Structure 1
Amino acid sequence: MRKVGLDYGDKTIGVAVSDEMGWTAQGVEVIRRKSKKDDISRLREIVKEYEVTEVVLGLPKNMDGSIGDRGQLSIQFGELLKEKLALPVHLWDERLTTVSAERTLLEANMSRKKRKQVIDKMAAVFILQSYLDAKK
């Protein structure tokens, strides 16, 4: 019973998938957004390939816990995913996940160019892993 973690952004969607036991999250890819139809199509392929049963979608909240414009877009995308993938979608607080991912990549001495290519995938790993840890 694998779960997929998503870091939904304006230009990309970072994707991570759990192991079958639901213990660890691994980065899979960064989807370059083209259209909602193409995005959903690629996510459907990932769901099928990894036999995913649940979606964990990062919900960007403001530091005070309120939900702004970016959060509203994620909520709308979550509703679309529920409809199109016919899977449960869990919205998960993603505050500071990109900052944590950036810090981890900096500590690994990764170049700026390479960081830019993987930051969203790494943020998806942080989102999914924090969800998995909380559900243990």
Structure 2
Amino acid sequence: MVEQAGTGAVEIILGFDFGIKRIGIAMGNTLTGLAQPLAVVKAIDNAARFQQIGQLISEWRPARLVVGEPRHPDGAEHEMTLRCRRFANQLHGRFSLPVELVDERYSSSVIPSRRGEVIDDKAAAIILQQYFDDHANHN
């Protein structure tokens, strides 16, 4: 069982797979330490994106947010690394929640998909599951 250090309180956490066209969102909690796909935000306009994200935050009331941080296979940063960091900063600024970045180098590559299938929420679940697994190993 994964617990918040010192409190034992169960926390809901939302995970994000940021993309220019879509944002995948997953949810999980620290009691089970399991992530599951939740939603895909398809709005390109920032106001519409953050409105949809805000509705999910109001509904689920997470204690923190996790955002995948893409990098090249060798760990080097690229354009999307900076965009994801900016997105994470915007989440923190708009919703006043702690935001953590998780290495997402291989999140989409491990998901079997059919041509044209939207897998962003599944990628978000892999990112969030990695967060849970990393924190379980450190407690």
TM range (shorter): 0.7 to 0.9
Q: Larger % of helix: which? A: 1
Aligned alpha-carbon RMSD (Å): 1.3
Amino acid in the other structure paired with 1:10: I
Is 1:112 aligned to residue 122 of structure 2? no
Moved more, 13-22 or 89-98: 13-22
Amino acid in the other structure paired with 2:121: K
TM-score, normalising length from structure 1? 0.87
Is 1:19 aligned to residue 29 of structure 2? yes
Q: Distance in 2 between matches of 1:94 and 1:135?
A: 16
Unpaired runs of 5+ residues, structure 1, are 106-110
Cα pair 2:25 2:38 within 8 Å, conserved: yes
Aligned-pair identity in percent equals: 28
- The Cα of 1:58 is off from its aligned counterpart by 0.4
- Pick one of 71, 79, 83 that aligns with 1:69: 79
Residue of structure 2 equivalent to 1:46: 56
Cα pair 1:10 1:33 within 8 Å, conserved: no
Q: Distance in 2 between matches of 1:67 and 1:121?
A: 23
- The Cα of 1:129 is off from its aligned counterpart by 0.3
TM-score, normalising length from structure 2? 0.85
Unpaired runs of 5+ residues, structure 2, are 1-10
